[in-house]
Structure formats: C-alpha cells, structure tokens
Structure 1
Amino acid sequence: MQAHKKITKEAIELLKNLIETPSFSSEEEQTAAYIEQWFQTHDIAFQRTKNNVWAVNKYFDNNKPTLLLNSHHDTVKPNNGYTKNPFTAIVEDGKLYGLGSNDAGGCLVSLMATFTHFYQQKNLKYNLVLVASAEEETSGENGLHSMLSVIPKIDVAIVGEPTLMNLAIAEKGLVVFDAMVKGTPSHAAHPNANNAIYNCIEVLQWFQEYQFKKTSKTLGDVKMTVTQINAGKQHNAVPSEVKLVVDVRVNDKYSNQEIVAILQEESPCDSITPRGIKLNSSSIPLEHELVQAGISLGRETYGSPTLSDQSVLSCPSLKLGPGDSTRSHSADEFIYIKEIEEGIKIYIQLLEKIVSHETLGQRNYN
C-alpha cells in the first residue's frame, strides 16, 4: 500500500511538471525529457523516437500477446478564456489546474505509474508496451501512427483519454471533406440565375437532412456537419464558387472509404474530396476479457463521439482514463487529484485481472 501511495504521489508531481512545460503538438521536446527522467528514476529501460518515449516490461516475451498502454503529452494552445496561468500547476479545492491536466496528462501519468507497477513482474500473461506519444492533438505524422512500425506488434490497447474511468468500447472515426458548389460569376447589378451562393442553399439543406442508413448500437448514427463556408471577395461581384468544409464522424458500421464513396456519389456538390481517410472508427468486443474485467470493477461501457489515437490502431482498443472529456480544451482546464488517485488504482486492478497471475486479494489498494 505504501508503494502504491508513493508512486501515485510521484505521478501527480510529474503531471505538475508537464503542465508547467509548454508542449504544443510537434513541440514536445521538454515534456519528453521529463518523461525520460521518470523512467531513469525508476530504473526502466526506455527508448525515444522523436518526441515519443516508450518502454516494454522487463520480462518481455515474444511468444506472448502484447498490450499497449498509450496516452499523449502534447496539448492544444490555450484559449482566450483562461483566468489562471495555463502553464502554472495550481491546486485549489482538490483540483489541479493547468493546460493538459485533463487532456491527457492525468491519463498519461496514471498509465506510467501503472506500467511502472508491473514493469518488474515476472510471468505476466501479456507483454506491456507503454508509449507516451506526441502530436495526438493534430493527428501528426510523428505521433503514435509513426510508432506502430517501431514498437513490438500489439494485440490490444488501452488508450488513455478522460472517460471518468468508464469504458469507451467504441469511438467514432473522422473524415473531413473539402466541397465545392459552382455557379456563374457576374456583376451584382446584373441578373444571374446561377448564383453559386444561392445554389449552396439546396446543398446545405441536403447535408442537414441526409441520413446514413446504418446505425451502430454503441455509437449511434454517422454525424455529418458543415463547419465552414467561404465565398466571394467583394460586395459587387458574384463569386464563381462556394467552398465548404464538412466534418463527418463515422460509426463502426462504415469504413472511412465507404463514407467517401457515398458522398462522392450522392452529394449535390460539384466536387467533394476527403483530406484523409486514416482516422478510422475503433472498437473492442464487449466480451473481450479487458472489457469484462472493467465491468467486474463496476465500470460502465459507452461509445465515444470524440477522436483519439485509437483511430490509428488496427487492433481492438479500449479508451479509458481519469478526468472528464467535457473539460478538454476548456478554459481553466483541471483534473481532480482524487481522479488521478482513483485512475491509478483502477488501472492496476484492471490489469491485475488479465495480465498478472496474482489475484486481487493478494494486494490492498485502499
């Protein structure tokens, strides 16, 4: 129990250091250095690939399946609504304030503490790989996706994102489209029956009303939203085209490529082009032992509408972590200290059920 309290305290101190070290996507050099220090302090062999820091358990065995523990140490930039310094770790009323505290620093340090707890255990049923990844917030080329060819092959993953320690057993994918509606350019003073902006009215209505046929039990419907519109440069000229940006959140009943094919065939736009299709929906079967272990600990299951590094994984994956997703990217972001304490406790209890030959009754986590 004392070891558990000690590592929890160290994890919270690490989070404070991460908060006070700016780490915008692709600029995570200094937070990566703090993560390296953690491994050095705990005598854990590790490697660093760009700003991704990773390690495997001491008794890694190629003949065993491998479980990935992943969360990210990059952040978005602070918004203008902050009333506290986003780069100062402030503890008030049981809350730890600071940029990245909730998304996803609390998850990361909790997973690091959990990995450290298991690092030297022999005869684990799963290998463990921990990746503290970069560039999650921008889905960058040098983030987790780039690590999949570097780390050992993984069979299942826990991705640390704030879920109130409930089990996100599915997550929507994302495809962003650039669309165009064309018309005839003209002087505003002359008649024009082919005004691109007016043509856009029918197109916008189509996007608003369109329903994809397949509904997911876990993730619900595909959600399609026009999020940007741009046309025209001066008041007296009718533009030749209107540009739209369309955000599509994809459930697990469709591949991203299927969504592209449907919209390119059915949408009334003159053109519609995906920016990329790699951010796929993800899921893990309800009957998977990892999910069942979580359920046995009283955790609820749900489908997540938000995107994470799960989208680049091809194996079954579970999103799970301390903190609340609704606080992410908000002003005066915070996580409760007790959420980190609970997060580490539940992570360890969860993994004890599936990776360790010890029983929970042999340990006390209170």
Structure 2
Amino acid sequence: MSVHPYITDAIELLKRMIAVPSVSREEEGVAALLEDFFKRTGLDYYQRKGNNLWIRSKYYSEKTPTILLNSHIDTVKPSSGWTSDPFTPKEENDKITGLGSNDAGASVVSLLATFRMLEERKQPCNFIFSATAEEEISGDEGVASILDQLGPVDLGVVGEPTRMQMAVAEKGLIVLDGTVKGKSGHAARDEGINAIYEAIPAIEWFRNYQFPLQSEFLGPVKMTVTGIGAGSQHNVVPDVCRFMVDIRVNEHYKNEELFQLIRQHVNCELKARSFRLNSSSISVNHPFVKRGEELGLEKFGSPTTSDQARMPFTTVKIGPGDSSRSHTSDEFIRPSEIVEGVKIYHQLLDGLHIHSI
C-alpha cells in the first residue's frame, strides 16, 4: 500500500526529532530541526518565538474562523529503565522506539503532515500549525507565550496520544498547601494545642466532601491529601501542621471559583500554588465532535493535563499513540499509527465548517 509523501516525510522527521534531546526548557535543537524542515519543504513563512514555531495558512483571512493545530516538542527526562539509547530511534516490528516518540512527537509530525495536506486548497477555516515548548512542565515560555501572536482562535486541536479518540474534556489541576497552627507544649503534661489534631477536621473534609456538580466525562472533582508534616521531637506538642492537597477539577468549576468554595468549608490557612491549569471542554454538539462521531470515534474525558489548560478557547485533545506509553521506558509509536492518525485528522478537518466566536 502506497503512503502519502507527506506521511513518509513525517515518519522520517520523527526519527530525526528523537535523535535530538529536547527536555523541557532545552528544546533549541528540535526547534532548529523543524526550522530546517520548514525551509526545505516550502513552509518558509513560519514564525518563531523562543523555542516555539508556528505557520499560518497561506489562505489566512481575518474574516474566516481559525483552527489551531498544536502539539509539543519537549519531553520528560529519560527514566533509568531504558533498554536502548532513548535518543537513538530504533525501528523494528512496526515500532519506532525513542524518547518523545509517543508523547508527543507522533502528534507533532502527524498534525504537520495534515496541515500540509490542508494547505493544498482553500478551506472554510484558517489553519495554524504550532509546535511548542515546555508542555511537560506547564511552562510560561511554551504555547502560552505565543497566543497573543496567533490572533483569534475558534478551536484548538491539541495533539496528545489518545489512540485517535476524542478527549472532549480534560481535568484541571490545583495544588493547595494548608497550614494549621497550634501551641507547643510538653507532651508529658496536659499543655499546648496539638496542631496535628487541629488539622484532622480539615484533612477529613478533603477526604470526604463531594462537590455537587459532576461531569459526564470527568466525573466528580477529586481531592487527595498527598503530603503532611508536623513535629520535630517526640516530647514536644507540635505547634504547626502542614499538608498538601492535589485537586483534579472538572469542567463545571474554574480553579479560582473552586478555591473560594473550599475556603468557605475549611478553617485553616490555604494557599494555591497556581490557578492557571483550568479544566477544558468542547460541546458534544460542536461540528468537530459531530464529524468525529460520524467517523466512529469515541468521546471520553481525560484525567491528565496538557497545553489545553493554557488555551482560553474551545479545545479538543486527539492524537496517535497511547497515553499509557507516555513517560515510560522504551516509549514507542507505530508507523501505522501515524498513517492512521494523519488519515483521521484529515477526515476531521478537510472542509470542516465552524463558527467564529
């Protein structure tokens, strides 16, 4: 079976990307590699800021709705369990093994191949392809740093490994640090106020409380106490207890709104590390989702965060590969998954009509 030349290019580009280390904040090499590819393939109207690159459709019109095709070029650091060099692409048994192959190099090259195909004729929508940095650390020098350069965006298609199924909702994240104060005293005498005991009601509340709005795809808001610390020696009543809470937020709550609701219930000092990683969602009646359903794609809710959290417009997450392979030793992608990914992306986007916001 013949493979489209753009897909052949994509698979070869992925191998070259794997061979260039691109840990978060160190993406210069892969960014330069993509620049070279753009120049060689006639996409020399790209733009770059830091380690982020984007290409606006040659048919771009301010009167036309815009769809952003985005994925990330950074990776996590390789774990110690790799059985081969993570920066040497290894191809055998319909697998390309290498760091970032699945998360999210395959999405980068598949979206790029799709963009090239869509560029061959004028479309009902503008398309912008972007390959961005710092996704793995939710960094400020990634996609968030170029949004003001892109102009209005009506839909973001975020490439992450989802087996080419549609993540129509994604959980947001808040990390809270709680502090409960008591009064020190000698443990042998009935004195002091034990901060650990004072913290128990707050910890129990996080353990048991259920927010009323639940999501069809993401379920309830999930709160988990993931760390606690107090005391320094066995005979001193501790005067401070600190704890940490991981909160996964569904699309019915904005992070700052949820934080204010929590403060109404919990009587202790609470600080949020950030509010920027909000939940994301797309209407099940959106034309993109409807077309996906016509193609037989499934809808699901994703528990993991991505660059969707940094995008203040409607987004959907979909890409080749499997999330279960991400951040694992001997991470791999199948070339056949890239072929299928480009096919589905093109079927979803070619001729798609959406409305401007």
- In the superposition, the TM-score normalised over structure 1's length comes to 0.91
Measure how far apart 1:15 and its partner are: 1.2
Aligned mates of 2:187, 2:92 — CA distance in 1: 59
Aligned mates of 2:140, 2:186 — CA distance in 1: 45
Matched, 1:277 2:291: no
Measure how far apart 1:61 and its partner are: 1.2
Q: 2:47 maps to what in 1? A: 47
Matched, 1:13 2:12: yes
Q: Contact 2:184/2:192 (CA < 8 Å) preserved in 1?
A: no
Matched, 1:194 2:230: no
Matches within 5 A, 1:108-257: 108-122=108-122, 124-188=123-187, 190-192=189-191, 194-234=193-233, 237-257=236-256
Aligned mates of 1:69, 1:42 — CA distance in 2: 18
TM-align CA RMSD:
1.9
Q: 2:257 maps to what in 1? A: 258
Counterpart code for 2:198:
N
Measure how far apart 1:73 and its partner are: 0.5
Q: Contact 2:193/2:239 (CA < 8 Å) preserved in 1?
A: no
Q: Contact 1:47/1:53 (CA < 8 Å) preserved in 2?
A: yes
- In the superposition, the TM-score normalised over structure 2's length comes to 0.93
Paired residue for 2:320, among 300, 319, 322?
Answer: 322
Measure how far apart 1:220 and its partner are: 1.0
Q: 1:83 maps to what in 2? A: 83
Instruction: Find the residue that maps to 2:345 and give its secondary structure.
Output: helix
Q: 2:345 maps to what in 1? A: 347
Counterpart code for 2:225:
V
Q: Gapped runs of 5+ residues in structure 1?
A: 357-366
Q: Gapped runs of 5+ residues in structure 2?
A: none
Aligned mates of 2:195, 2:91 — CA distance in 1: 54
Matched, 1:63 2:75: no
Aligned mates of 1:82, 1:169 — CA distance in 2: 33
For residues 5 and 179 of structure 1, do their structure 2 counterparts lie closer, same or farther at Cα, with a shift above 3 Å needed? same
Counterpart code for 1:260:
F
Q: 2:295 maps to what in 1? A: 297
Counterpart code for 1:291:
V
For residues 30 and 232 of structure 1, do their structure 2 counterparts lie closer, same or farther at Cα, with a shift above 3 Å needed? farther
Counterpart code for 1:342:
E
Counterpart code for 1:199:
E
Q: 1:364 maps to what in 2? A: none
Aligned residues: 353
Instruction: Find the residue that maps to 1:242 and give its secondary structure.
Output: strand
Counterpart code for 1:159:
V
Instruction: Find the residue that maps to 1:109 and give its secondary structure.
Output: helix
Q: Contact 1:59/1:120 (CA < 8 Å) preserved in 2?
A: no
Aligned mates of 2:21, 2:233 — CA distance in 1: 41
